[in-house]
């Protein structure tokens, strides 16, 4: 065994050379890996005793792509394309032996090899589009030559990996192997030698792309089919253009075109934002004072109190993860209604072919409903989702304290209330934490875990681990009104109400944010969440919102009642402007003596988003969020902030905090409203010419 570089070893097994990459945690193609492969191939190529080469990886996965931490830095030799040319033009068969995830540049390495074998659990994908990029080392030119244009379009534009069985079926791998992978790779290489199989260079293959040649309709059709989910993203179109080039151009010209399209994306603000977000999401999992080895409660059984809008969705998350869950309601009728909604949701998913009827029954089988609280005495975690009223919450937690087993985690899904006060209703506040899900709870990926003053490190670690286990992105925040997401949302809401009173109709305000990239605007979003939830909270706090209160007084709670700020056709979700609401707005404006005017897009955007950024600065100063990037993860996964804009804090940095601060001061001068006073942190960073993210 020869150590070529710190991360690549060269070994020989008979007359087969084995190059092993060992660059934890995911064998990314860092420069020393590229150097090692390059040098190793040259050595193996010139060693007369070597007749074939196997490329394999140590650790938990095959190469998971280029080293994203090297992006944006000066390129170092050799380039990945140079390594791939060396592999493809090697005069001896090169076999890739794959386990874990062969992703991005990792899959491109295998596509330059002459043959590929993989273990049963291996996965294969080109996820670059999720970083705002495209496969930049021949992936867009070689993959179509193996799997055909349509499959390549689907894999490259979705960025989603495929499994080994499908990879074998579409010809991406030559064999599924088991046992010792390197030995299996060597055995396959020997079979290639013994059967004098040709050196299959994918660059020379045309049979799979020929059917798409001269058929632009294939690409036009594909563009139409992905238009909705790729709205606002720059990379998908470049991915499609690159695959078109693979079909229409000779290989080397296609590679050149791929490089042009790749470079355009690499320098784009969208990719910078998405690459930033890749690491932000991973940072959010790290809690400085809660080390990875902190003991967690093993969740074998869960329970949910309340089967309303949220309770039902929360229960589905546990059933989806195969964890039995008991749902407790006050009355059988409420229970039947709640579990009925759960079954309807599963059946709707099955109707869309994403679940089988057997899956539906299996998941419903994991959800037990009851009005008997004793049924949850053996639950490892209990999540309360009852009405948003403190007396009711405290009564529920006092009851849980008496019934739940000693090491159970007691969690509340409150969206605004004081978690410490709720915890004070128990004799075990160290076991209490907030687990704030987002509506619809079985869909939205964000979980805002709210750390109480007495929440133990084990309770925090358990809530973070549970979040990941049920497929959520957990982010830890501190206790304050509305935590991070709703607290910033509230600031946006205050300005949204002012904007409609000053003359911008609700549909115009919503359009500014949907054009910005949000899935929906503030008013359509309120209609989805239910206006009654906010109304109940305002009444509980003795505060008013003139327009919203009048709409609620008419029994218009949003989609659930067919009308709110907008009206909705039966069974439809498309918001329709309603003159009834526009009249309410005009009346309130008149009563409050507010002059109405045309308001421009830029002003609407700034007045909705700058207050959020400013509140984010206060949240950081109060240490309610551990880091600025956590705020961005919360807004992208909980509130639909477009990922290709990074998140509110990243976006503000991209504009420049001085510009944000100065514009706020201009609005303060214009309105005379202290609402526009910049947070001290924003002011300091603006003065220092710095950003939230350094
Ligand atoms: N580069 C650098 N670091 C990486 C990395 C990468 N490609 N992938 C993961 N990491 C780090 C990550 O930040 C974390 O660090 C640790 O590894 C574990 O990751 C030319 C241009 C492989 C499925 O997009 O999807 O190739 O936080 O927590 O959940 O065409 O990581 O511990 O310090 O995610 O088990 C294309 C990205 C690159 C795949 C494993 N490749 N990675 O998931 O662990 S672009 C990707 C993943 C490219 C070429 C182009 C996942 C994973 P830390 P983790 P995991
Ligand atoms: P909801 O009114 O739809 O459901 C509440 C359910 O709790 C009702 O079915 C009710 O019967 C039940 N309930 C009330 N008291 C009970 C008791 N003592 N024992 C058992 N069941 C009881 O409300 P929701 O929208 O699901 O909100 C529930 C909680 O989740 C609230 O704290 C809310 O702030 C929070 N939340 C709501 C949303 C949202 O968008 N709706 C989002 C995040 C968090």
Q: What percent of the chain has pLDDT over 70?
A: 100
Cα gap 37→80, rounded to integer Å: 10
Cα gap 466→468, rounded to integer Å: 5
The ligand that comes nearest to the alpha carbon of residue 271 is 1
Cα gap 100→61, rounded to integer Å: 4
> Of all atoms in ligand 1, which is nearest to the CA of residue 103?
41
> How far does residue 311's CA lie from ligand 2's centre (Å)?
7
- Tell me the backbone φ, ψ of residue 107, rounded to 5 degrees: -65, -35
- Cβ atoms 617, 679 nearer than 8 A: yes
Among 21, 34, 64, 288, which residue has the most ligand 1 atoms within 8 Å of its CB, making it the best to mutate? 64
Q: What percent of the chain has pLDDT over 90?
A: 96
Name the pairing type of β-strands 115-119 and 2-5.
unpaired
**HEC sequence for 15-62:** CEEEEEECCCCCCCECHHHHHHHHHHHHHHHHCCCCCEEEEEECCCCC
Cα gap 89→200, rounded to integer Å: 10
3-state class of 105 per DSSP?
helix
> How far does residue 385's CA lie from ligand 2's centre (Å)?
5
Does ligand 1 have an atom closer than 6 angstroms to the CB of 159?
no
Catalytic one of 39, 88, 128, 244: 128
- Specify the pLDDT at position 538: 85
Q: Measured in Å, how far apart are the chain's first and last C-alpha atoms?
A: 44
Which residue has its alpha carbon closest to ligand 2 atom 1?
308
Which residue has its alpha carbon closest to ligand 1 atom 30?
135
Per-chain mean pLDDT for the chain: 97
Q: Bridge-partner residues for 558, per DSSP? A: 563
C-alpha gyration radius of the chain: 28
Q: What is the dihedral of CA 658, 662, 664, 670, to 10 degrees?
A: -170
Neighbours of 333 (CB within 10 A): 10
The C-alpha angle with vertex 320 and arms to 317 and 325, in degrees rounded to 5, equals 65
- Cβ atoms 338, 345 nearer than 8 A: no
Residue 569 annotated among the catalytic residues of the structure? no
Neighbours of 183 (CB within 10 A): 15
The ligand that comes nearest to the alpha carbon of residue 83 is 1
**Per-residue pLDDT tens digits for 517-565:** 999 999 999 998 889 978 887 888 788 899 999 999 999 999 999 999 9
Cβ density class 379-404: b for 16+ within 10 Å, e for less: bbbbbbbbebeeeebbebbebbbebb
Among 306, 332, 333, which residue has the most ligand 2 atoms within 8 Å of its CB, making it the best to mutate? 306
Q: Bridge-partner residues for 125, per DSSP? A: 103
- Specify the pLDDT at position 534: 85
Cβ density class 602-627: b for 16+ within 10 Å, e for less: ebbebbbbbbbbbbbbbbbeeebbbb
Which residue has its alpha carbon closest to ligand 1 atom 10?
26
> How far does residue 26's CA lie from ligand 1's centre (Å)?
6
Cα gap 74→381, rounded to integer Å: 49
Average pLDDT over residues 358-372: 97
Is residue 27 very low, low, confident or very high in pLDDT (cuts 50, 70, 90)?
A: very high
The ligand that comes nearest to the alpha carbon of residue 307 is 2
- Specify the pLDDT at position 88: 98
- Cβ atoms 666, 659 nearer than 8 A: no
Picking from 126, 82, 106, the residue whose alpha carbon sits closest to that of residue 26 is: 106
> How far does residue 410's CA lie from ligand 1's centre (Å)?
34
The ligand that comes nearest to the alpha carbon of residue 415 is 2
- DSSP per residue, 391-440: HHHHHHHHHHHHHS-TT-EEEE--SSS-HHHHHTTSS-GGGEEEEEE-SS
> Of all atoms in ligand 1, which is nearest to the CA of residue 71?
21
Does ligand 1 have an atom closer than 6 angstroms to the CB of 660?
no
Average pLDDT over residues 424-445: 96
Catalytic one of 70, 77, 88, 108: 108
**Per-residue pLDDT tens digits for 463-495:** 999 999 999 999 999 999 999 999 999 999 999
- Specify the pLDDT at position 533: 79
Picking from 655, 650, 675, the residue whose alpha carbon sits closest to that of residue 664 is: 675
**Per-residue pLDDT tens digits for 197-237:** 999 999 999 999 999 999 999 999 999 999 999 999 999 99
- Tell me the backbone φ, ψ of residue 163, rounded to 5 degrees: -85, 175
Cα gap 402→396, rounded to integer Å: 10
**HEC sequence for 435-477:** EEECCCCCCCCEEEEEECCCCCHHHHHHHHHHHHHCCCEEEEE
- Specify the pLDDT at position 148: 98
Cα gap 404→414, rounded to integer Å: 19
- Specify the pLDDT at position 536: 82
Residue 361 annotated among the catalytic residues of the structure? no
> Of all atoms in ligand 1, which is nearest to the CA of residue 66?
26
Which residue has its alpha carbon closest to ligand 1 atom 37?
64
> How far does residue 63's CA lie from ligand 1's centre (Å)?
9
Picking from 504, 468, 460, 491, the residue whose alpha carbon sits closest to that of residue 639 is: 491
Cα gap 529→523, rounded to integer Å: 10
Residue 501, C-beta contacts closer than 8 angstroms, at least 6 positions apart: 547, 585, 588, 589, 592, 594, 596
Cα gap 524→303, rounded to integer Å: 32
Average pLDDT over residues 417-426: 97
Does ligand 1 have an atom closer than 6 angstroms to the CB of 629?
no
Cβ density class 497-516: b for 16+ within 10 Å, e for less: bebbbbbbbbbbbbebbbeb
> How far does residue 302's CA lie from ligand 2's centre (Å)?
17
Among 23, 27, 32, 65, which residue has the most ligand 1 atoms within 8 Å of its CB, making it the best to mutate? 65
User: Who lines ligand 2 at CB under 6 A?
Assistant: 305-311, 328-330, 334, 338, 385-388, 392, 396, 413-415, 437-439, 529-530, 533
> How far does residue 41's CA lie from ligand 2's centre (Å)?
62
Residue 236 to residues 102, 143, 159, 519, Cα–Cα distance (Å): 21, 16, 10, 18
The sign of the dihedral angle between the CA atoms of 565, 568, 573, 574 is negative
Query: Is the pLDDT assigned to residue 594 strictly greater than 80?
Result: yes
Cα gap 107→147, rounded to integer Å: 13
> Of all atoms in ligand 2, which is nearest to the CA of residue 310?
26
Query: Is the pLDDT assigned to residue 297 strictly greater than 90?
Result: yes
Which residue has its alpha carbon closest to ligand 1 atom 29?
282
**Per-residue pLDDT tens digits for 375-414:** 999 999 999 999 999 999 999 999 999 999 999 999 999 9
Picking from 159, 140, 271, 244, the residue whose alpha carbon sits closest to that of residue 202 is: 140
**Per-residue pLDDT tens digits for 138-191:** 999 999 999 999 999 999 999 999 999 999 999 999 999 999 999 999 999 999
Burial class for 485, CB neighbours closer than 10 Å (0-12, 13-18, 19+): buried
Q: What DSSP character marks residue 293?
A: T
Residue 24 to residues 58, 241, 316, 496, Cα–Cα distance (Å): 8, 34, 35, 48
Name the pairing type of β-strands 446-451 and 432-437.
antiparallel
Picking from 128, 145, 125, the residue whose alpha carbon sits closest to that of residue 66 is: 128
- Cβ atoms 129, 98 nearer than 8 A: no
- DSSP per residue, 331-381: SHHHHHHHHHHHHHHHHHHHHTTSS-HHHHHHHHHTEEEES-GGGGTT-SE
> How far does residue 312's CA lie from ligand 2's centre (Å)?
10
- Tell me the backbone φ, ψ of residue 12, rounded to 5 degrees: -130, 135
> How far does residue 131's CA lie from ligand 1's centre (Å)?
11
Name the pairing type of β-strands 16-21 and 52-57.
parallel
Among 305, 309, 393, 397, which residue has the most ligand 2 atoms within 8 Å of its CB, making it the best to mutate? 309
The ligand that comes nearest to the alpha carbon of residue 560 is 2
């Amino acid at each position: 065994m020869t150590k070529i570089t710190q991360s690549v070893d060269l070994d020989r097994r008979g007359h087969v050379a084995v190059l092993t990459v060992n660059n934890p945690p995911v064998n990314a193609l860092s420069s020393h890996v590229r150097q090692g492969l390059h040098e190793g191939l040259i050595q193996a190529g010139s060693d007369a005793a070597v007749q074939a080469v196997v490329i394999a990886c140590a650790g938990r996965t095959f190469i998971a792509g280029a080293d994203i931490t090297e992006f944006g830095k000066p390129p170092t030799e050799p380039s990945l394309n140079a390594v791939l040319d060396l592999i493809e033009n090697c005069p001896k068969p090169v076999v890739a032996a794959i386990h874990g995830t062969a992703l991005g540049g990792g899959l491109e390495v295998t596509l330059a090899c002459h043959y590929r074998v993989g273990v049963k659990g291996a996965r294969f994908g080109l996820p670059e589009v999720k970083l705002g990029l495209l496969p930049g080392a021949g992936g867009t030119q070689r993959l179509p030559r193996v799997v055909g244009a349509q499959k390549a379009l689907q894999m490259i534009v979705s960025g989603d990996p495929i499994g080994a069985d499908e990879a074998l079926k579409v010809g991406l791998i030559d064999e599924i192997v088991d046992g010792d992978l390197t030995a299996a790779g060597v055995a396959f290489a020997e079979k290639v030698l013994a059967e004098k199989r040709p050196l299959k260079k994918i660059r020379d293959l045309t049979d799979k792309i020929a059917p798409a040649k001269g058929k632009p309709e294939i690409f036009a059709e594909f563009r139409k089919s992905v238009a909705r989910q790729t709205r606002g993203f720059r990379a998908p179109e470049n991915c499609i253009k690159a695959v078109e080039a693979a079909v229409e151009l000779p290989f080397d010209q296609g590679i050149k075109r791929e490089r042009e399209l790749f470079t355009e994306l690499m320098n784009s603000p969208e990719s910078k934002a998405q690459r930033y977000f890749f690491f932000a999401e991973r940072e959010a999992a790290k809690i400085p004072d809660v080390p990875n080895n902190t003991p967690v409660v093993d969740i074998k059984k869960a329970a949910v109190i309340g089967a309303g809008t949220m309770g039902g969705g929360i229960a589905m998350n546990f059933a989806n993860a195969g964890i039995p869950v008991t749902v407790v309601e006050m009355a059988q009728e409420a229970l039947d209604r709640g579990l009925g909604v759960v079954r309807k949701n599963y059946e709707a998913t099955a109707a869309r072919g994403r679940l089988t009827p057997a899956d539906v029954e299996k998941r419903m089988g994991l959800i037990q409903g009851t009005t008997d609280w004793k049924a949850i005495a053996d639950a490892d975690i209990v999540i309360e989702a009852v009405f948003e009223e403190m007396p009711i919450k405290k009564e529920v937690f006092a009851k849980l304290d008496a019934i739940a087993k000693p090491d159970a985690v007691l969690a509340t899904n409150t969206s605004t209330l004081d978690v410490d006060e709720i915890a004070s209703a128990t004799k075990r506040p160290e076991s209490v934490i907030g687990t704030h899900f987002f509506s619809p709870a079985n869909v939205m990926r964000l979980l805002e875990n709210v750390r109480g003053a007495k929440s133990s490190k084990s309770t925090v670690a358990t809530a973070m681990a549970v979040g990941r286990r049920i497929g959520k992105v957990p982010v830890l925040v501190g206790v304050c009104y509305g935590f991070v997401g709703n607290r910033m949302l509230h600031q946006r809401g205050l300005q949204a109400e002012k904007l409609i009173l000053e003359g911008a109709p609700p549909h115009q305000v919503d359009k500014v944010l949907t054009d910005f990239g949000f899935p929906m605007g503030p008013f359509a979003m309120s209609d989805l969440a239910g206006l009654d939830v906010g109304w109940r909270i305002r009444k509980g706090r003795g505060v008013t919102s003139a327009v919203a209160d009048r709409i609620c007084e008419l029994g218009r709670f949003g989609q659930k009642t067919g009308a709110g700020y907008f009206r909705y056709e039966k069974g439809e979700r498309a918001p329709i402007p309603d003159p009834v609401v526009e009249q309410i707005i005009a009346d309130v404006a008149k009563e409050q003596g507010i002059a109405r005017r045309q308001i421009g897009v830029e002003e609407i955007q700034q007045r909705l988003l700058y207050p959020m950024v400013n509140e984010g600065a206060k949240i950081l100063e109060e240490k309610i969020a551990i880091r600025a990037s956590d705020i961005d993860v919360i807004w992208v996964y909980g509130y639909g902030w477009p990922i290709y804009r990074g998140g509110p804090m990243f976006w503000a940095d991209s504009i420049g905090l001085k510009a944000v601060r100065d514009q706020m001061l201009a609005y303060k001068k214009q309105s005379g409203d202290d609402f526009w006073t910049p947070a001290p942190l924003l002011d300091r960073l603006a003065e220092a010419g710095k950003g939230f993210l350094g």
